[in-house]
């Protein structure tokens, strides 16, 4: 179980780093799908090896939601936006990647109290999942348009899901159901907001959103 | 059983309103408010008699602290809901109003669920639900500014609440590591029982995530950036609910975990963090309130200020600090919801919420103007209103508890905000202005919410009704105060 969970989480983290580096939207979306599939696999493997059947169900729901439904909504949101090619001004992939690397180290330091007291076979992978969450947060905060924000937020969510699977073998079913519903509603609400932004501004770049300043 | 009824009333009403005809929406809205108020009274009576009520096999549980919050939510929801009944409110059509009422009750339901569940995971779902239910309400007028406010609100609060989820996962981890998977491991009552054996370092780390996460919902600086926009762009009744009680629901979530952290990691850890964030909130608010430009933004920043004060009271601790903080939550809810309701009327009458063009308010709108002036004086903490008492309790707890520097600093920041807001009030209320387009006709329906709000504030300020002292002491006892 240790080998499987380490390997799967490691690959998911590597994909997250690629996602920081890539700039083209379809490429980033594909990386997000790949990350979600890996995490679903992780949940399924941990669930089967630990004998927790609910976790396998959770993995299936996760796969359907993050691997299929949400990417479709995201693609719909992006259609009609001119693809942003190249690197946004004032922000280079190299520096972003360096920041992401630093976050991986930071994740190990911050999560130390947890790894120190964990006795689970999956404990080694916990900092990797936590790093994924931090990098997602970073992508979200530094995102230049709405799509960047949403994608960053979803990667952040994925990281937290990985953390929950590795550290606790999944939360109680009621909570997991609530979380899934929550992510779905957030994405749908954001889609509504995006549609309205597009009607009014003809662009999703956030430099246009500056009505509310002191 | 009463708890289930309490939650079902707004939930069923929201469903009926969402799929029902627009024609009956207004009556259904009014009926639901009355039914909810009745259910709340029953729950409070039960809690007063038995100490704590549980339902659905312990999933729902109301102790005196929950009862206090439930009572506040009910009062503010009734005031805001009554204002939303006013005919021609915001000049929108019946279909839009039906959606408004439906989301209003869904919003109230999520807040009630958040404070009456014993399961901290379900509480997380409910707190996130408050955001989802209110996003559309913030963007109700569908202007550019309200759209931007709704987007910021949704994104920042979702990120914040996800951080709180990390904290919840870590608490669950600490719990399961120590005691093995158990069905009720995320229940607050279970956690509190096991708290002495939980690993302190993990609980501390979890509490930081929870404080930042739920603190975002509570509007504590520096996570408050969404708040002035969302609170000022939402329709007035929604601003009243958001500022009046939603912020306190965020703080309530922090408090549930604070009791666990206090046992597991020692009481100083959470207290220091709360005092720090409380002072930061006061400072951010004072800097803005020194010269406010817009009525609703002024009220929104004042909410940051008061949440900061409450955090200070909880951090100072002791019987006075905690009871003072809880009383302050109530006083602020009353004053701020009254003010937001009145600010909506001012915006409708003057066509703007900017402070500069609003002049001669008392002459143009006798009821609204005088009510606004009185409620703002109450908000500033002047006697004979309740905020004077609760601020005195909080700062008194600080000076007594040895937090000299923090208390003195808080006092200076409060004075700064006081001066700025008083100047704004003087300009709006008494500066001679051009004759208003239409003079407000005094009416009972318009004066009633103001009278109720101010009347209750006078009670908490001068003559505590029988039972209030006991209710506060019991609620504070839940928090170990």
pLDDT value for B92: 67
Is residue A148 over pLDDT 80? Answer: yes
Q: Tell me whether residues B162 and A193 touch, CB distance under 8 A.
A: no
User: Are the Cβ atoms of B170 and A167 closer than 8 angstroms?
Assistant: yes
Q: Does A96 touch chain B (CB under 8 A)?
A: no
B128 — contact with chain A (CB < 8 Å)?
A: yes
- pLDDT value at position B339? 93
- For residue A88, the Cα-to-chain-centroid distance in whole angstroms is 21
pLDDT band, residue A89 (cuts 50/70/90): very low
Residue-wise pLDDT for B301-327, tens only, equals 999 999 999 999 999 988 889 999 999
Residues of chain B with C-beta less than 8 angstroms from the C-beta of A179: 125, 165
Distance from CA of A178 to the nearest CA of B (A): 6
Number of neighbouring beta carbons within 10 Å of residue B351: 11
Which residues in chain B show pLDDT less than 50? Answer: none
pLDDT at site A49: 87
Which residue is listed with tokens 């004759």?
B435
pLDDT of residue B481: 57
Residue A29 pLDDT > 50, yes or no?
yes
The ipTM is 0.91
Quick check: B380 and B335 in contact, CB under 8 A? Answer: no
B145 shares contact with chain A (CB less than 8 Å): yes
Share of chain A above pLDDT 70, in %: 87
**Would you state the pLDDT for residue A214?**
43
Lowest mean pLDDT among A93-97, A180-184, B65-69, B182-186: B182-186
Q: Is the Cβ pair B151, A179 closer than 8 Å?
A: no
Mutate to test the interface with B, among A167, A173, A184, A210 (most CBs of B within 10 A): A167
Per-window interface: B 361-400 vs A, CB < 8 A = none
In terms of Cα–Cα distance, which of B394, B460, B154, B66 is closest to A185?
Answer: B154
Q: How is chain B split into domains, by residue range? A: 266-481
Question: What are the Cα distances from residue B344, in Å, to B91, B188, B238, B362?
Answer: 12, 39, 10, 16
DSSP of chain A: -HHHHHHHHHHHHHHHHHHHH--SHHHHHHHHHHHHHHHHHHHHHHHHHTT-HHHHHHHHHHHHIIIIIHHHHHHHHHTTSPP--SPPTT--HHHHHHHHHHHHHHHHHHTHHHHHH--STTGGGHHHHHHHHHHHHHHHHH-SBHHHHHHHHHHHHHHHHHHHHHHHSS--HHHHHHHHHHHHHHHHHHHHHHHHHHHHHS--BGGG--S---
| B135 Cβ under 8 Å from any chain A Cβ | yes
User: CA-based diameter of chain A, in Å?
Assistant: 56
The values of phi and psi at residue B54, to 5°, are -125, 155
Residue of A53, A106, A120, A186 to mutate, testing the B interface (most B Cβ within 10 Å of its Cβ): A186
């Amino acid at each position: 179980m240790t080998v499987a969970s380490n390997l799967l989480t490691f690959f998911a983290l590597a994909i997250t780093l690629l996602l920081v580096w890539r700039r083209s939207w379809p490429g980033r979306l594909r990386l997000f799908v790949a990350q979600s599939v890996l995490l679903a696999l992780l949940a399924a493997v941990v669930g089967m090896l630990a004998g927790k059947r609910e976790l396998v169900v959770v993995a299936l729901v996760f796969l359907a939601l993050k691997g299929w439904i949400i990417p479709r909504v995201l693609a719909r949101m992006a259609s009609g936006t001119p693809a942003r090619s190249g690197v946004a001004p004032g922000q280079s992939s190299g520096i972003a990647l360096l920041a992401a690397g630093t976050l991986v180290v930071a994740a190990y330091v911050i999560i130390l109290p947890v790894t120190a007291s964990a006795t689970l076979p999956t404990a080694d992978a916990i900092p990797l999942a936590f790093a994924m969450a931090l990098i997602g947060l970073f992508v979200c905060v530094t995102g230049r348009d709405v799509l960047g924000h949403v994608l960053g937020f979803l990667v952040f969510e994925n990281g937290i899901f990985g953390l929950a699977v590795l550290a606790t073998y999944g939360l109680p079913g009621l909570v997991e159901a609530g979380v899934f519903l929550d992510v779905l509603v957030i994405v749908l609400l954001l889609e509504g907001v995006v549609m309205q932004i597009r009607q009014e501004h003809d662009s999703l770049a956030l430099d246009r959103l500056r009505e509310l300043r002191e | 059983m009463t708890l289930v009824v309490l939650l079902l009333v707004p939930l069923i009403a929201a469903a009926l309103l969402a799929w029902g005809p627009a024609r009956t929406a207004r009556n259904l809205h009014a009926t639901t408010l009355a039914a909810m108020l009745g259910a709340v009274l029953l729950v409070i009576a039960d809690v007063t008699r038995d100490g704590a009520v549980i339902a659905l096999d312990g999933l729902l549980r109301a102790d005196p602290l929950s009862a206090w919050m439930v009572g506040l939510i009910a009062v503010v929801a009734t005031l805001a809901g009554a204002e939303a009944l006013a005919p021609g409110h915001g000049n929108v059509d019946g279909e839009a109003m039906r959606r408004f009422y439906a989301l209003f009750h869904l919003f109230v339901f999520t807040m009630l669920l958040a404070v009456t569940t014993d399961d901290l995971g379900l509480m997380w779902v409910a707190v996130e639900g408050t955001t989802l239910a209110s996003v559309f309400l913030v963007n109700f007028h569908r202007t550019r500014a309200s759209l931007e406010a709704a987007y910021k609100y949704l994104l920042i609060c979702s990120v914040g609440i996800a951080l709180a989820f990390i904290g919840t996962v870590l608490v669950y981890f600490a719990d399961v590591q120590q005691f093995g998977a158990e069905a009720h491991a995320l229940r607050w009552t279970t956690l509190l029982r096991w708290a002495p054996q939980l690993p302190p370092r993990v609980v501390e780390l979890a509490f930081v995530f929870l404080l930042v996460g739920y603190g975002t919902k509570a509007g504590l600086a520096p996570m408050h950036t969404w708040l002035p926009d969302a609170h000022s762009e939402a329709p007035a009744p929604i601003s009243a609910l958001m500022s009046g009680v939603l912020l306190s629901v965020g703080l309530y979530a922090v408090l549930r975990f604070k009791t666990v952290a206090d046992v597991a990691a020692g009481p100083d850890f959470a207290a220091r963090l709360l005092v720090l964030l409380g002072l930061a909130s006061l400072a951010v608010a004072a800097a803005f309130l020194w010269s406010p430009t817009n009525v609703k933004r002024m009220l929104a920043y004042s909410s940051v200020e008061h949440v900061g004060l409450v955090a200070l009271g909880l951090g100072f601790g002791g019987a006075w600090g905690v009871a003072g903080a809880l009383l302050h939550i109530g006083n602020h809810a009353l004053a701020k919801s009254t003010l937001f309701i009145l600010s909506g009327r001012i915006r409708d009458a003057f066509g703007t919420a900017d402070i500069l063009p609003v002049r001669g308010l008392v002459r143009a709108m006798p009821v609204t103007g005088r009510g606004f002036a009185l409620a703002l004086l109450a908000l500033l903490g002047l006697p004979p209103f309740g905020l004077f008492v609760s601020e005195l309790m909080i700062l008194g707890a600080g000076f007594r508890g040895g937090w000299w520097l923090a208390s003195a600093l808080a006092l200076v920041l409060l004075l700064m905000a006081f001066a700025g807001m008083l100047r704004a009030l003087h300009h709006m209320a008494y500066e001679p202005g051009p004759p208003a387009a239409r003079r407000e006709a005094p009416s009972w329906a318009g004066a009633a919410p103001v009278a109720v709000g101010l009347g209750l504030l006078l009670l908490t300020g001068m003559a505590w009704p029988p039972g209030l002292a006991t209710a506060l002491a019991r609620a504070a006892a839940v928090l170990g105060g």
